[in-house]
Amino acid sequence: MVEPNAPVLLVAEDGKRYLLQAQPGGAWFTHHGRLAWDDVIGRSFGCLVSTDKGQPFLVLRPTTADLIRHLKRTTQIVYPKDAAYLVMELDLWDGRRLIEAGTGSGGLTLAFARAVMPHGRVYSYENRPEHQRLARRNLEQLGLLPYVELKLRDIGEGFDERDVDAVFLDVREAGAFVPQAEAALADGGLFGSLQPTVNQVTALVAALQAGHFVDIRVEELLVRPWKPSAERLRPADRMIAHTGFLVLARKTDRRYRLWGADSRTRRRAVEFGEAEEEEEGA
């Protein structure tokens, strides 16, 4: 049932989608006419409503992916396909504590908050007040602020928290902030980052290898939409071909640089005397 002030996804006959809030006593004005929210509140999701000009709209419950796609934004957001995968790979569930930076418009924050609530926390860092203001508004509207601590700071200064379960960095040149992430993570904690270019990924991987990280992975997710016609089922003509590279790793209690390396890398390390470093740490 549509509750007062709930987010609602209205879908027009031509497929256009509008994410709105069902405000008691209020109305949505469009060139298709006026829709009174009191005619929508109390109805079940999946029903059809009409404006005063007779324009029909389907009333749907927005999913987390819909909320991200329709979020008011001034920054690039993490796409739902990447956000969903990150919730799995950063192992986020009720009670987990996670740091993310930067907050941006709060798109990823909302997916993380929904994963760790009600007992977990997202500590979200941002250095630009205007971005943080918008993210606060977005999260407040969705009732997610109780699960998020928004912090206004350049992450070069470090994080306040210690022993967190995961750190996610969506900032340029994330490689420069690996020491700060390492200091905040619990041993065994999970690290993730989204980087749009190969150059940034190279720098980040090098920084992780120089730190206390193993299991370093670089991945990319591609979603190819299909035209859902039973008679002419085929892929759509266009797709979003690139959003970003995902870099994932796990923190260890010290440096185990050669852990998981192939035998050639290990042989070369012995040859160049680098394996001794590892002995020291182990």
Residue of 172, 149, 170 lying closest to 161 (CA atoms)? 149
**Considering beta carbons, is residue 59 or 171 the nearer one to ligand SAM?**
171
Q: Which of 61, 69, 128, 137 binds ligand SAM (CB under 6 A)?
A: 128
- Check binding of 247 to ligand SAM (CB under 6 A): no
Q: How far is the CB of 86 from ligand SAM (least distance, A)?
A: 10
Q: How many residues bind ligand SAM (CB under 6 A)?
A: 21
- Check binding of 170 to ligand SAM (CB under 6 A): yes
Beta-strand relationship, 164-169 and 97-101:
parallel
Q: How far is the CB of 127 from ligand SAM (least distance, A)?
A: 4
Pull the structure tokens for residue 236.
Answer: 């759509």
The residues in 171-190 that bind ligand SAM, with binding defined as CB under 6 A, are 171
Beta-strand relationship, 148-152 and 121-126:
parallel
Cα 50 from chain centroid? 35
Helices (DSSP H) in 36-91: which residue ranges?
64-69, 80-89
- N- to C-terminal Cα distance for the chain? 58
The residues in 49-78 that bind ligand SAM, with binding defined as CB under 6 A, are 75-78
Beta bridge partners of residue 20, listed in sequence order? 8
- Check binding of 244 to ligand SAM (CB under 6 A): no
How far lies 97's CA from each of 17, 75, 91, 186, 230, in Å? 34, 24, 10, 10, 45
φ and ψ at residue 22, rounded to 5 degrees = -80, 90
Pull the structure tokens for residue 185.
Answer: 């993570």
- Check binding of 246 to ligand SAM (CB under 6 A): no
Q: Which stretch binds ligand SAM (CB under 6 A): 16-24, 106-114, 203-211, 252-260?
A: 106-114
- Check binding of 125 to ligand SAM (CB under 6 A): yes
Q: How far is the CB of 113 from ligand SAM (least distance, A)?
A: 12
Q: Which of 104, 120, 175, 244 binds ligand SAM (CB under 6 A)?
A: 104
Q: How far is the CB of 90 from ligand SAM (least distance, A)?
A: 13
Positions in the binding site for ligand SAM (CB under 6 A): 75-78, 101-102, 104-108, 125-128, 131, 154-156, 170-171
